[in-house]
Amino acid sequence: MFDESNPIRVLGISGSLRRRSYNTAALRAAGALMPDNMVLEIAEVIGIPLYNEDDERDSGFPEQVQSLRDQVMSADALLIATPEYNYSLTGALKNAIDWLSRPPSPPINLMPVAVFGAGGRLGTARAQRHFRDIALHNDLRLVQQPEVLISEPWDKFDDDLVLTDERTRDQLRRLVIALRGLTTRIKATRKRVLVVGRHSSAISTLTTRLREIGYEPVAVLDDDSALALIDPGQFSIVIIDEEVEPESRAALTDHISHIAPKTAVVDRPQLDNLVHVLEDALS
């Protein structure tokens, strides 16, 4: 069941910088074809500087880059429109992905994403294939079908760049519905973790790592808040930091065993072993 009061937020990124871009126009068309429980925001990538590790180390993320990272962090899914330049995706799109893949907490990690493209006689087939290869790096969750290859787009848009081709409109409609389904499944299966600690800096590091590996953490720094949050089905795991006093640890564990017996409890594991510890706890 979809919650129309909390729609799926999709961030659209066009790899074209042209003012009269068919790909950007197709992205707008896809937004207009979305069902009521999806909303599209189109990101701006014009003017983003080329990635340079020296600049990142010396000055951090440029303002435009941080804005794009914040947009991705706030989105539930990505919709990518890629032109094809020289048998591949554009430098502008690749550069945006390079910035989005940088630590800490790369915002594109594990994101649901759908890709399509407009251009040429093959409809950006090569560019889309290259994008799928690049997407493996940050474990993006890709919509596999339908493939939307908008060939010879000059025949499918009018002079105002409105998509008039009904077959292409139907393909885009089916693509965004598939993205909705993938996003909903991922959100439904994402495991929520309650993190109980005493020091905000250490807890922040742990919650960042949890998000990177696909969990949904909630952090609290006092026992009363933790006790109030523990309900059956609310969390898959409770992580209790090593700084929590033994008496508090015992009280939390006892409360969980009575109120939410299916919730796993683990002491704070090492970050480099976090995946295995949490998988063992869930099993």
d(CA 121, CA 60): 41
Confidence of residue 5 (pLDDT cuts 50, 70, 90): low
Three-state SS annotation for 197-212: CCCHHHHHHHHHHHHH
pLDDT (average), residues 29-35: 97
Share of the chain above pLDDT 90, in %: 64
Is residue 125's pLDDT more than 60?
A: yes
Domains of the chain: 8-188 (3.40.50.360), 190-282 (3.40.50.11060)
Beta carbons of 117 and 150 less than 8 angstroms apart:
yes
Tell me which range, 10-19, 136-145, 201-210, is most confidently predicted by mean pLDDT: 10-19
The average confidence (pLDDT) of the chain is 91
Q: What is the pLDDT of residues 241-283, one digit of tens each?
A: 888 999 999 999 999 888 888 888 988 777 777 878 887 887 6
pLDDT at res. 2: 43
d(CA 78, CA 141): 10
d(CA 117, CA 27): 9
Confidence of residue 115 (pLDDT cuts 50, 70, 90): very high
Is residue 3's pLDDT more than 60?
A: no
Share of the chain above pLDDT 70, in %: 98
d(CA 167, CA 144): 19
Q: What is the pLDDT of residues 166-188, one digit of tens each?
A: 999 999 999 999 999 999 988 87
